[in-house]
Amino acid sequence: MKMIIGIGVIVLLVFFIEWIGPLVLDKTSLSDDLKALIVAVADACMATACYIFIFRIYEQRLIRELSRKKFISNAAIGSLTGILLQALIILVIWLAGTFLVVQVNPVSMLIKPFAFALTAGFVAEIMIIGIVFRLLEEQTGTKIAFFIFIVLFAMMHINVKGATSISVMATAIQAGFMLPAAYVFSRNLWLPIFLHFGWDFAEPGIFGGINPSSSLTHGLLTSKIAGNPLFTGGETGPQDSLQSLLLCLLLGIIFLVLAKKKNNLIKPRWQITATNK
């Protein structure tokens, strides 16, 4: 019930912003890019405020996972990590000789990818990690929650157009393991939010790669990516390449090892109940 209420309210209000925003902003002389940025900032603020309001009341607690004290450090680390991961993925493609920069575009071309990544990072991770994973982990424990998430994301992407075994595994590891592991390590939502943001911003926004969830085809760079789909990701883009799968798996394992050292892993509720009897 908590999941249904939390996700339902956030989705409803974000949809409202996506509807009312353009209606209001279209009456101004602002550029389309600035309009998109304003709507994205509103989406991010609304999703964050809704989460804090709903679960502060529902669970009668302070929302420490969105503490302002940890915002700057986690935002910086998350964003830079996401961008660095994409840079390493592109580096492998470049070393294979199949990444070509066709054109360098004005810096203003970064605005729309920034807006897309901001909405994706905040709305998706607040709902997926903050609500679904967090509440699932409280019941099943960390290990089982990871297993369920990996399987769930794999099943959701099996029938995606152009999907391959590598792309399905890559998506399952990225969304079902790496991002939840970032949360378990930090016990803070800012880290997975901005890791997702940096990832989605860099792929189309900086390197001009295909992002399956975005219609953007270029940003700062207009690039041509060709070659073996194993390393380029094929139809679904660089994030679904072999090197992406391996890098995200490695980072997820690092997060998990560090989380274990910090005693951040949670046991299933039934084990805790049995121990306390």
Q: What is the pLDDT of residues 175-233, one digit of tens each?
A: 999 999 999 999 999 999 999 999 999 998 999 888 776 667 668 988 888 888 889 88
State phi, psi for 100 to the nearest 5 degrees.
-125, 125
Contact 232, 225 (CB under 8 A): yes
Confidence class of residue 261 from pLDDT cuts 50, 70 and 90?
A: very high
Confidence class of residue 236 from pLDDT cuts 50, 70 and 90?
A: confident
| Per-residue pLDDT reduced to its tens digit, 66-96 | 998 889 999 999 999 999 999 999 999 999 8
Query: What local confidence, expressed as pLDDT, does residue 70 receive?
Result: 85
Q: Average of pLDDT values for 30-55? A: 94
Q: Average of pLDDT values for 4-12? A: 94
Asked if pLDDT for residue 35 goes beyond 70, the answer is yes
Asked if pLDDT for residue 271 goes beyond 90, the answer is no
Cα separation values, 160 from 38, 199, 235, 237, Å? 31, 20, 10, 13
Least reliable range by pLDDT among 46-60, 156-170, 173-187: 156-170
Query: How is the chain classified by DSSP, letter by letter?
Result: -HHHHHHHHHHHHHHHHHHHHHHHHTTS---HHHHHHHHHHHHHHHHHHHHHHHHHHHHTS--GGG-GGGHHHHHHHHHHHHHHHHHHHHHHHHHTT-EEEEEEPPGGGGHHHHHHHHHIIIIIHIIIIIIIIHHHHHHH-HHHHHHHHHHHHHHHHTTSTT--HHHHHHHHHIIIIIHHHHHHHHS-THHHHHHHHHHHHIIIIIT----TT-----SSEEEEE-S-HHHH-GGG-GGGSHHHHHHHHHHHHHHHHHHHHTT-----HHHHHHHH-
Query: What local confidence, expressed as pLDDT, does residue 97 receive?
Result: 82
Overall pTM > 0.85: yes
Contact 39, 25 (CB under 8 A): yes
Asked if pLDDT for residue 162 goes beyond 80, the answer is no
Distance, CA of 63 to CA of 230 (rounded, Å): 42
Confidence class of residue 272 from pLDDT cuts 50, 70 and 90?
A: low
Query: What local confidence, expressed as pLDDT, does residue 113 receive?
Result: 92
Q: Average of pLDDT values for 133-153? A: 95
What is the average pLDDT value for the chain, to the nearest integer? 91
Query: What local confidence, expressed as pLDDT, does residue 219 receive?
Result: 84
Q: Average of pLDDT values for 96-125? A: 92
Confidence class of residue 267 from pLDDT cuts 50, 70 and 90?
A: confident
